Amino acid sequence: MSIKFNSNEIRYIALFESMTGAMVKDCIIDEENGKVTFVVKNGDMGLAIGKKGSNVIKVQNAVDKGVEIIEHSDDPAEFIKNLMAKAEFRSIKVLQKENKERTATLVADNTNKRIAIGKNGQNIERAKLLAKRQHNISNIILK
């Protein structure tokens, strides 16, 4: 599945890559919550963050929004774990049905479920969007 970026996303990606040296695989601009999420190439996380978070701070000041960085992984379960880094899960299973539809099931306690869902469901919605775009996962179920 190829991702089509709008002109704003392309500008943010170019700015992020030039300021950090990290390669961006995906970008989501959340105007409602004043946040930009970048998915960086596996192994580029340290480059993206910079020494003591200096690159993140530079990019935040340049875009005047909060910046979130997620490390990509070719393994769908590992990618979901990276998406939901603030929450801890007992298990993450990605299943593919006969119709080729993929679903991820995450098992967590109530505290970690709340963290995974986030305020007004913003964390889980962002995770669903990125999981769909990166690994063609149609749904994430929290148990």
Does 103 score more than 60 pLDDT? yes
Q: Which CATH class is domain 7-71?
A: alpha beta
CA angle in degrees (0–180, nearest 5) for 115-133-8: 90
Q: Where are the domains of the chain?
A: 7-71, 76-142
pLDDT in tens, 60-69: 999 999 999 9
| pLDDT on residue 45 | 92
Among 3.40.50.300, 3.30.300.20, 3.30.230.10, 3.30.450.90, name the CATH number for the domain at 76-142: 3.30.300.20
Over 90: is that where the pLDDT of 101 sits?
no
Question: What is the pLDDT at residue 60?
Answer: 92
Q: Report the b/e string of 15-29 with b at 16+ CB within 10 A.
A: bbbebbebbbbbbbb
- Indicate whether this model's pTM tops 0.85: yes
What is the structure's pLDDT at 1? 55
